[in-house]
Amino acid sequence: MSAQDALKLAEEQGLDLVKISPNAVPPVCKVMDYGKFRFEQTKREKEARKNQRVVEIKEVRMSPSIDVNDFNVKLRSAQKFLGEGNRVKVTVRFRGREMAHTEIGQDLLVKFAEDCGEIAVLDKAPKLEGRHMSIFLSPKSAKEAKK
């Protein structure tokens, strides 16, 4: 139908004529209440934003000479972060002569990853960057947790 006929039809019904696909040949239009359409569209966008969740990266720092109880405290805090759905970066900082024994830090990080193995997946193997060695842990998805 012609644009004039469609506009007349929309005015008779008290609605708006909205171009859906202006580049099509012929252009596709729809008779609707534009105000209501915009309201519902913003409502859908708001709902989508509410359901989004930003994943943060939390960091846990240790030294290679950490005691067993301190290690367990760090482990529990990392498990709490993972339970909340955040990624965790576990870092071991070497000072002075500790740089000569980086394997101790590597063993510590591997043990940490194994202890978090039930709820987390190791993203990145232990890597030495300057005086810091770190790993990344991500929470297991619901599918992975059932396996």
pLDDT per position as a tens digit, 56-92: 899 999 999 999 999 999 999 999 999 888 899 999 9
- For the sheet containing 132-139, what is the strand order? 57-62, 87-93, 132-139, 120-129
The per-residue pLDDT for 145 is 52
Q: Which domains does the chain have, with CATH numbers?
A: 3-51 (3.10.20.80), 57-146 (3.30.110.10)
- Name the pTM for this structure: 0.61
Query: ∠ at Cα 61 (58, 67), nearest 5°?
Result: 135
**pLDDT(106) > 60:** yes
